[in-house]
Structures are given as C-alpha cells and as structure tokens.
A and B are shown apart, each in its own frame.
Chain A
Amino acid sequence: MKIAIFENEYQQIEAAFEAMNLLYFDNKLEFSVFPSSQNFGPLENLQNYDIAIVDIDLSQNSQLDGYALLKKIENLEKKPKILVLTGSSKVESTLQEKKLPKYDVLLKPVDFSEIHKSLDKMFKK
C-alpha cells in the first residue's frame, strides 16, 4: 500500500503514522512525504499511490495550497483516494464553496487511532 502525504509539518504527526503502521499494518504501508506541491513532480504519477493525504496549509514556498492541489488531482484521469488533513474546522464548507467533492476529513490534532480509523474506512471503500 502506497500513501502520498502532502504535509509540511509531518514531524508533528510522524510518530502517529509510524505507530499506526506498526500496530495495524505490520509496517507494510509505504509513506512518501511532500512538504510542498512541487516536491511531488508530475501529478500523473499519483496513479501509483492508493491514497493521497492532503494537508490544506502546505509550506510557504509551495506553489499550490491544499485546495489548488485537490483541484489538480480531480482533473487527473486516474487518481488515488483522497483524505484531507487540516486544523481548520471550516474545511468542509470551503470544499463545497470551491466545488470540490466531499472528501473524508481528518481534523488535527490527530492520534494514531484516528488515522487508522480513517485509513481503514478508505481501504474498505
């Protein structure tokens, strides 16, 4: 299972992801972390991932913020499942305003159990 994580403050949640991977997936999940949108390279390559976790506030030097990145992903022919990670409780209404689909949202602060629940739900979809 390959998961792309677009998050500029991954160190804040790194241990939670590691613990979840260890306890529930026997370290079988592969995480690739990208602090800014351009770090990923061509977005077409997202088809190689099962899930993309997108934080709305990416690093200051990121070319795209989370919403713009989601729009680009939506335009891809083959796209992974999306999980939105954010500290803002208004993200769902903003997604609606920006005419983006109703993604699963994981609200910060997060612990490993919550991350597991969200991923588990996505794998079952």
Chain B
Amino acid sequence: MFKSYKLDAVIRLITSFLYRIILILFGIFILLVSKNSFSFWSYATIFISYAVFFIILFKKRNWLSKFRLLNDYLFILFVLWNKELTILTYPFLLLPIFNSPNHTGEKRSFLTYIFTTLILIFILRNKFEIIDVVPLFFILIIELFEKIRTRLLRFSSSLYNEIDNFYLKKLNLKKSHLIYAEIIERLNNSRFKFFFTTKIIMCFKLKNSKFSIMNSSIFAWNYSIKIDSEKIKELENERLLSNLPIEINFKTYSVNFYIPIKVENEMYVFVYIVEDLKIWSICKFYVSWYLKPLLSKIAVVLRVEKELRDDRDNYIKKMKDKMYYVNNATLAMHFLRNKFSPIKNYLEMIEKEERFGKEKKDQYSEILKKELSRVKTSVKEILDRTNLILEKSENPFIVNQLSEVSLKKVVDICRKIWYDFFDHDSIIFQWKDIDETKKSYNLNEDGLEILITDITENLHKYQDGIFKLRFTEDNDSYFVTFENNVKNYDSLNIDLEKMALDFMSDDNIEINKRTTHGMSMIKSFLNQMKIEYKLSIENRIFLFKLIFNK
C-alpha cells in the first residue's frame, strides 16, 4: 500500500537539494556584485568543500542533519565575510530560516535562529543598529505563532486518529464513554496541559431545556445541573459557556466548560470538568477551536449510535410481537392437548363399552354421560381458542401497514437479495427511464423483502444452472421476472404446470394453503400488497413475474 509519508520524504530530499543549489547560486551572485575579502581560489575551495560536505551529509538524519545545517551557515559566513547587511545579503542570511519547514525532522530547529543571530552579531560587530535586527525579530515572532499553531494541529490530529482508531479498529460502538479516558490522558499529557487539567468529560443531550446524560468518563449515578433558562438558551444557540456548577454523585464542580454541539436536530452538551484553570481567555480559544471539532466527531458517533439503537428497538418490538404470537400459539397447543383428553377418553370409552360385564354397566354409563358433558364444554373451549389464534389482525406476520416505496427501492431490494444467492451477471436490466421515474407503490418494505427472499430462495433451491433476474418493461408496466430451469424436472413428484395454474387461480386458495405452504405464503403476501403477478412454465423454464403499473 502507498504511504503518503514516503512521498513527503522524497519531496523534502528534492527540496533540500534545490535549496543548496539556490544557496550556491545566490552566493556566487553576491560574490560577483560585492567587494570580496578572499581570493577567487579561496572562494572556489569553499564552494567545492561546501558541495562535498553537503553530498556526504545528504540524506543523513537526526543529529548528523545538524552538521548539514552547520555546513550551510559556515558557507554563508564565508560568503558574507566582511560584507555589510544589504537588501541582497540579509535575505541570503535568512535563507536557512525560510527553508526550515523543509527540514527532515518533524520539529523545526531553533538552531537556525541561533546560527543566524551569531552571524548577524559577527557582521554587526563594529556598527550595531537596532533596525538591523528587527526583521529577524519579526520572523522569530511569526515562527513562534506558527509553531504553536502547528503543534495544536498535530495534537488535534493525534486526537482525531485516537477517535478513529477507537471506533474503527476496536469497533467500540456503544462504548463511547471509553474514548473519554483516552482523550483525558492525551490532554493531560500534552504540551497544553498548562492551560488546565481535565478531570471528567460528560455528554448530555439537551432537549426541552432538560439535560439527560448520554455518557461520561466516570459512572455518574447521580447528577444535577441547575442553570437558568437564559444560559440554556445560550447553549441552544451553540455558545460556549463556563463555570456553571454541576453536581455529580453529590459532589459539586464549579470549574468547567459547557461545549454545545448540534448534530442534525439533536443538541449535545459536553461538559469538561477541569482544575487548575490558568488563563481563561486562552483556554476558551483553545476549547472553541481545537476541542469543539473533536467533540463534534464524538457527537456524530453518538447520533449514529442513537439511530442504530432506534432501529434495534424497532426490530426488537417487531420481534417481540412475533415472539408473543408464536408463544401464544405454543401455549394454545398445550391448552388444546389438555382439552382433548375428555374427547379422547370418551371415544375410548365408547369403543370399549361392550368389553366389560353387565354388573359395571350402570356405573360405566354414568361416567360416560358425565364425560359427554365434559366433551361438549371442551369442544366449545377449543373452538374459542382456535378462533382467537386465527384472528388475522393479531397476526404479526400479516402485512397490514403499507407505505410508499419507490420503484428504485424495489430494484434495490430485489438486487440486494439476489446478490445473496447469485452474481451480478445473472441480472438483466432493461428499464430505460429508471433515472427519471419518481414512481412509487403502496407496499410494505418488510413484506416485500420476505416475498423476494422467498421467491429467490425457492429459485436457488430448484435451479439447475439457468437463473436470471430480468427487469423489463412495456408501455403500461414494469416487470421484475425471476426465472430458472428446474432440477430433475421429469422425476419431480409435483406437477409444476398444475401448480402454476393453481397458483394463478383463486378458486382453490384454501386447499393449496394446506398442500403448498411456501407458495401459498408468497401468494398471500402478493395479495396483501396488491402486487400483480404471473407464474408460468415455458419450455421447462419457471417464470415468476411481478408487475408494477406505470
């Protein structure tokens, strides 16, 4: 895999080489236009020596790279020997500082300032004027700010990486609170720890002026935030606030930051509880500019987590309904078993009535009569319970909620399920205006997925090397056709052509329910969603066509 830092290293080496050529050419130019102290051959020796040392030290890293810098300054010193500071010589002296961002080390070397100052002192040794050092001073100030900015950026970047690694490598979704421990450790061990020491990070959701805890670096079994409505309004307007008392686990913390982050319609408020707060204004700048984007990232993850949780809750609710239904059906089976005892016993008693002697007949008849009455009650109870189970509205497997599903979504569902069984080559797509169409249908997405899965599973089970999913159309309709040849067509126990005819007929739905459970379920789903369909067998190819009107 290509690594960007390798490219950066190559660019730095090329820049280093070019910089030295510029330095040599600049030096030659200064010697040509100035009065010089040494002979031509002396300068020639210096230039050659400089080039040779540079080649020797080229590519050297760590402390040897400092000798490369020293080599540069010795060269500059000889070129500027006994020359005055002019508009030509000053930039020549400052060249190494301008080049310092290209140094191979990550940290910029302050040696450039030391060497430059030393040479400057040497040049100005006889006639020092403050104006001569002003440019160097300003460059130093700019460099200082630039250095702080770079460090902050590097620090933020390292925190971003920490978060990325946390979520991506460790797959720590739903354990977001664990990231705070790592952030706190980084913050408290960074160069910026002199701003403040972070003790606790908490995240709250702010809704209807109420704070509800999302997560925290400590387990907050009790918390209380008592701030007035004005402050809440400021937070809602995403204004950073500070030092608003917060009580956690019955301990009050007064030194803190409230950092509001809005993600879509959700408002999250991160509370940084700190100590040793040094300079508030700098801290505010630091928190606003560097920590806020970082926390935004966590807030986005929290938002995604919430959506996942909502999806899961919906799924569990659906599952719960189904489990309840199945459980109820199972209990009903137990109930029925109990209620069948009198019926079973009554039949047994009738069957064996004649086998026993006359002396017991009267007593036997009495028992039989009592059992008959019990049988009648049992039959009624069995019928009541079966009616309850068969009540359609209580069946969660029935598609009873329809919503608008776009044609594109239909394609997406069909294709996604098809890919679970077959590859892309078996899909033939011939819809021409799919990009423009905004056509949608009243369907149930879950129902459609179950339906397509059922059809595709059947197709996969019975196919024998020929299988296609075709999206075709005519002037009036869009067609989605599932087609396959059939394994062991001639030796099948089922008459497929009759089955196809039965499937298309509404005259024997109830009979088919008992014999072809899978197909009758497909038919039931199609009817519930009012999807037109056609099942046929042509040249031994099984064709299942779904029809969507244009």
| Partner-B contacts on A (CB < 8 A) | 9, 11-16, 18-19, 22-23, 57, 87-88, 108-113
CA distance in complex: A98, B207 (Å): 50
Contacts of B356 in A (CB 8 A): 23
Please determine whether B338 and A109 come into contact, CB atoms closer than 8 angstroms.
yes
Contacts of B347 in A (CB 8 A): 111
Q: Which 10 A-B pairs have the closest CB atoms?
A: A111-B348, A109-B340, A87-B337, A15-B371, A109-B341, A111-B345, A16-B345, A109-B344, A87-B334, A12-B341
State whether the Cβ of B363 lies closer than 8 Å to any Cβ in chain A. Answer: yes
Contacts of B363 in A (CB 8 A): 22
30 A/B residue pairs, CB under 8 Å, sorted by A? A9-B338, A11-B374, A12-B339, A12-B374, A13-B341, A13-B345, A14-B370, A15-B346, A15-B367, A15-B374, A16-B341, A16-B371, A19-B345, A19-B364, A19-B367, A19-B371, A22-B367, A87-B337, A87-B338, A88-B334, A109-B337, A109-B340, A109-B341, A109-B343, A109-B345, A111-B341, A111-B344, A111-B347, A111-B349, A112-B349
CA distance in complex: A13, B337 (Å): 12
State whether the Cβ of B352 lies closer than 8 Å to any Cβ in chain A. Answer: yes
Distance to closest chain A CB from B373 (angstroms)? 10
Please determine whether A110 and B342 come into contact, CB atoms closer than 8 angstroms.
no
Please determine whether A112 and B345 come into contact, CB atoms closer than 8 angstroms.
yes
For the A-B complex with A13-B345, A108-B337, A111-B349 known, give 20 more contacts whose Cβ atoms are closer than 8 Å. Answer: A12-B338, A12-B342, A12-B378, A14-B370, A15-B342, A15-B345, A15-B346, A15-B368, A15-B370, A19-B345, A19-B367, A19-B371, A22-B364, A22-B367, A87-B338, A108-B341, A110-B345, A111-B341, A111-B345, A112-B348
Known pairs A11-B374, A12-B374; A18 contacts B367 (CB<8 A): yes
Contacts of A57 in B (CB 8 A): 334
Which residue, of A11, A15, A57, A108, has the highest number of chain B Cβ atoms within 10 A?
A15
Q: Which residues of chain B from 198 to 233 have a CB within 8 Å of any chain A CB?
A: none
Which residue, of A11, A14, A111, has the highest number of chain B Cβ atoms within 10 A?
A111
| Partner-A contacts on B (CB < 8 A) | 334, 337-349, 352, 356, 360, 363-364, 367-368, 370-371, 374, 378
Contacts of A15 in B (CB 8 A): 342, 345-346, 349, 367-368, 370-371, 374
Contacts of A19 in B (CB 8 A): 345, 349, 364, 367-368, 371
CA distance in complex: A110, B340 (Å): 8
CA distance in complex: A98, B360 (Å): 44
Residue of A nearest to B360 (CB): A22
Contacts of A13 in B (CB 8 A): 341-342, 345
Contacts of A11 in B (CB 8 A): 374
Contacts of A12 in B (CB 8 A): 338-339, 341-342, 374, 378
Contacts of B360 in A (CB 8 A): 22-23
CA distance in complex: A57, B363 (Å): 31
Distance to closest chain A CB from B386 (angstroms)? 16
Known pairs A15-B370, A15-B371, A15-B374; A113 contacts B352 (CB<8 A): yes
Distance to closest chain A CB from B378 (angstroms)? 7
Please determine whether B341 and A110 come into contact, CB atoms closer than 8 angstroms.
yes
Contacts of A112 in B (CB 8 A): 345, 348-349
CA distance in complex: A66, B337 (Å): 17
CA distance in complex: A19, B368 (Å): 8
CA distance in complex: A120, B343 (Å): 23
CA distance in complex: A14, B340 (Å): 13
Contacts of A88 in B (CB 8 A): 334
CA distance in complex: A88, B336 (Å): 11
CA distance in complex: A28, B384 (Å): 38
CA distance in complex: A13, B345 (Å): 8
Contacts of A23 in B (CB 8 A): 356, 360, 364
CA distance in complex: A21, B341 (Å): 17
Contacts of B368 in A (CB 8 A): 15, 19
CA distance in complex: A104, B87 (Å): 111
Contacts of A14 in B (CB 8 A): 370, 374
Residue of B nearest to A110 (CB): B341
CA distance in complex: A31, B371 (Å): 18
Contacts of B378 in A (CB 8 A): 12
Residue of B nearest to A107 (CB): B337
CA distance in complex: A14, B342 (Å): 9
Which residue, of B341, B364, B371, has the highest number of chain A Cβ atoms within 10 A?
B341
CA distance in complex: A13, B371 (Å): 9
Residue of B nearest to A24 (CB): B356
Contacts of A16 in B (CB 8 A): 341, 345, 371
Residue of A nearest to B357 (CB): A23
Distance to closest chain A CB from B326 (angstroms)? 15
CA distance in complex: A9, B338 (Å): 8
CA distance in complex: A113, B347 (Å): 11
Residue of A nearest to B363 (CB): A22
Residue of B nearest to A88 (CB): B334
Contacts of B346 in A (CB 8 A): 15
CA distance in complex: A18, B346 (Å): 12
Distance to closest chain B CB from A19 (angstroms)? 5
Contacts of B370 in A (CB 8 A): 14-15
CA distance in complex: A11, B340 (Å): 12
CA distance in complex: A112, B347 (Å): 10
Residue of A nearest to B349 (CB): A19
Distance to closest chain B CB from A116 (angstroms)? 10
Contacts of A87 in B (CB 8 A): 334, 337-338
CA distance in complex: A23, B349 (Å): 11
CA distance in complex: A12, B379 (Å): 12
CA distance in complex: A15, B345 (Å): 8
Contacts of B374 in A (CB 8 A): 11-12, 14-15
Distance to closest chain B CB from A82 (angstroms)? 20
Contacts of A111 in B (CB 8 A): 341, 344-345, 347-349
Residue of B nearest to A56 (CB): B334
Contacts of A18 in B (CB 8 A): 367
Distance to closest chain A CB from B392 (angstroms)? 27
